[in-house]
């Protein structure tokens, strides 16, 4: 079963936890670095703030800097506080220590969050080449390709998503972005409609649809979508995954 793009935090942290458990299984006792690391992870259940969790992971890194899963988790927590520069540095080190597809994908997303769309493509390409059945990678690349004006290529990746994960609302957002870039505005509006039907809590498809309407000359619908998107963001209840299409 394919996992929703919005649940990637679970994948990333789970991978890091698994690595830690593997390490722990060959140790007679939990070492000080692991103690710090697991204290950070348990913060998810104890209500610890992200800054505190970051501090614990930083202590773990200081003690054992060659465990790539520490850097990955620090990157994830840094993304949560929107410190994308630190997340990028963390992921550079994680990739250096243990290059694997998910790390490449996550680094590609962080590059996009920093506006470095062209730079992200090499990471998405590498992730897909090594793990071509992981559909979440195609969504990241499709969105990045659209941002750099390669709309036909973006559409190819979006169609891959349609074939493999048609049940996900995020698939139709990627499709809408590619179609908007290609000037196929009515089809794009239909794609955004479907994205919102499947994931009504998402905000970014509203902004995408507003742009498609604007290019069609329909200022009324465009303005209504922008106002609704702004209203949802202003009320403070929107999750980051609803606002940011490059959120893991």
Tens digits of per-residue pLDDT, 186-200? 999 999 999 999 999
Cα separations in angstroms, 101 against 12, 98, 128, 170, 196: 11, 10, 7, 21, 29
Query: Which domains does the chain possess?
Result: 1-98 (1.25.40.10), 134-248 (1.25.40.10)
d(CA 109, CA 124): 9
Q: What distance separates the 2 farthest-apart alpha carbons in the chain?
A: 68
**Looking at residues 1-20, what average pLDDT do you find?**
45
Among candidates 14, 87, 73, which has minimal Cα distance to 40?
Answer: 73
At 88 the pLDDT is 98
**Looking at residues 69-87, what average pLDDT do you find?**
97
pLDDT(8) > 60: no
Output b/e per residue, 71-85; b: 16+ Cβ within 10 A: bbbbbbbbbbeebbe
pLDDT(15) > 60: no
At 140 the pLDDT is 98
d(CA 147, CA 191): 18
**Looking at residues 19-29, what average pLDDT do you find?**
45
Tokens for 17? 């936890």
Place of tokens 């179609």: 179
């Amino acid at each position: 079963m394919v996992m929703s793009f919005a649940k990637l935090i679970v994948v990333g942290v789970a991978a890091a936890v698994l690595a830690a458990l593997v390490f722990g299984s060959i140790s007679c006792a939990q070492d000080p670095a692991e103690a710090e690391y697991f204290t950070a992870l348990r913060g998810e259940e104890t209500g610890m703030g992200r800054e505190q969790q970051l501090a614990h992971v930083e202590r773990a890194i200081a003690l054992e800097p060659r465990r790539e899963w520490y850097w990955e988790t620090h990157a994830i927590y840094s993304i949560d506080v929107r410190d994308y520069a630190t997340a990028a540095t963390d992921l550079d080190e994680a990739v250096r220590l243990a290059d694997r597809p998910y790390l490449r994908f996550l680094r590609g997303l962080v590059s996009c969050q920093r506006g470095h769309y062209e730079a992200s493509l090499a990471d998405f390409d590498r992730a897909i080449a090594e793990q071509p059945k992981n559909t979440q990678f195609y969504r990241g690349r499709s969105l990045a390709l659209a941002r750099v004006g390669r709309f036909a290529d973006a559409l190819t990746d979006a169609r891959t998503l349609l074939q493999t994960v048609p049940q996900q609302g995020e698939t139709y957002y990627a499709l809408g972005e590619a179609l908007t870039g290609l000037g196929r505005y009515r089809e794009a509006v239909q794609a955004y409609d479907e994205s919102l039907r499947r994931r009504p809590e998402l905000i970014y498809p509203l902004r995408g649809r507003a742009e498609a309407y604007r290019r069609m000359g329909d200022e009324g619908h465009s303005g209504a979508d922008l106002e609704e998107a702004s209203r949802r963001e202003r009320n403070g209840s929107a999750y980051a995954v609803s606002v940011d299409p490059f959120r893991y």
